[in-house]
């Protein structure tokens, strides 16, 4: 059994799912997610799936849960890097992608009407801040914390591995 990895996978899956629920809650409250916000969410989705797979594979004799937790750590680090980039764009430290100015849903054939109907959300303007930190900033902090936790929980202890191999 990989009790440490099992506990870590459960905690990481819960944390990622909670962050996704929080992001969706902001949309319910009327905040429109920009494209960079959506990129960050993909990391949470991927990490939650990987953590769930680690949890399901916890009965394996192979170090699969630990490997999957390391993959979670890498995935969340990428998500955190995107969040740092997004926060930097919001603070005007650097330019954001040119395509990150609005969400446009085409369909009517009239581009101007589609633009008028589309909910607008710019990546370079923070929709919300608490204590001077935007949602992207908090996402970066929490994503790095989850990545560090997943990496630590994915470490295979030599004594644990030897005990499992010996059947102790």
Which one of 58-62, 97-101, 118-122, 142-146 scores highest in mean pLDDT? 142-146
- The pLDDT value recorded for residue 158 is 43
C-beta pairs of 84-90 under 8 Å, 24+ apart in sequence: 84/136, 84/140, 85/36, 86/36, 86/37, 86/40, 86/123, 86/136, 86/139, 86/140, 87/134, 87/136, 87/137, 87/140, 89/36, 89/123, 89/124, 90/123, 90/124, 90/125, 90/126, 90/134, 90/136
- The pLDDT value recorded for residue 165 is 56
- The pLDDT value recorded for residue 1 is 38
- Give the range among 33-42, 56-65, 84-93 with minimum mean pLDDT: 56-65
What is the Cα–Cα distance from 80 to 124, expressed in whole angstroms?
17
Band the pLDDT of 138: cuts 50, 70, 90: very high
- Give the range among 84-98, 127-141, 144-158 with minimum mean pLDDT: 144-158
- Is it the case that residue 123 has pLDDT exceeding 60? yes
Nearest to 54 by CA among 44, 69, 41: 69
Q: Model's pTM, two decimal places? A: 0.77
């Amino acid at each position: 059994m990989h009790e440490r990895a099992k506990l870590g996978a459960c905690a990481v899956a819960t944390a990622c799912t909670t962050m996704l629920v929080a992001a969706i809650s902001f949309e319910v409250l009327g905040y429109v997610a920009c494209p960079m916000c959506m990129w960050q969410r993909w990391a949470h989705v991927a990490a939650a799936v990987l953590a769930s797979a680690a949890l399901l594979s916890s009965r394996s004799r192979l170090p699969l849960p630990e490997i999957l937790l390391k993959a979670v750590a890498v995935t969340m680090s990428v998500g955190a890097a995107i969040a740092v980039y997004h926060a930097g764009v919001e603070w005007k430290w650097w330019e954001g992608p040119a395509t990150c100015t609005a969400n446009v849903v085409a369909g009517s054939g009239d581009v101007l009407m589609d633009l008028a109907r589309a909910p607008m959300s710019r990546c370079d303007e923070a929709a919300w801040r608490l204590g001077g930190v935007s949602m992207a900033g908090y996402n970066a902090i929490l994503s790095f914390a989850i990545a560090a936790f997943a990496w630590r929980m994915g470490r295979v202890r030599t004594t644990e591995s030897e005990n499992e191999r010996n059947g102790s």
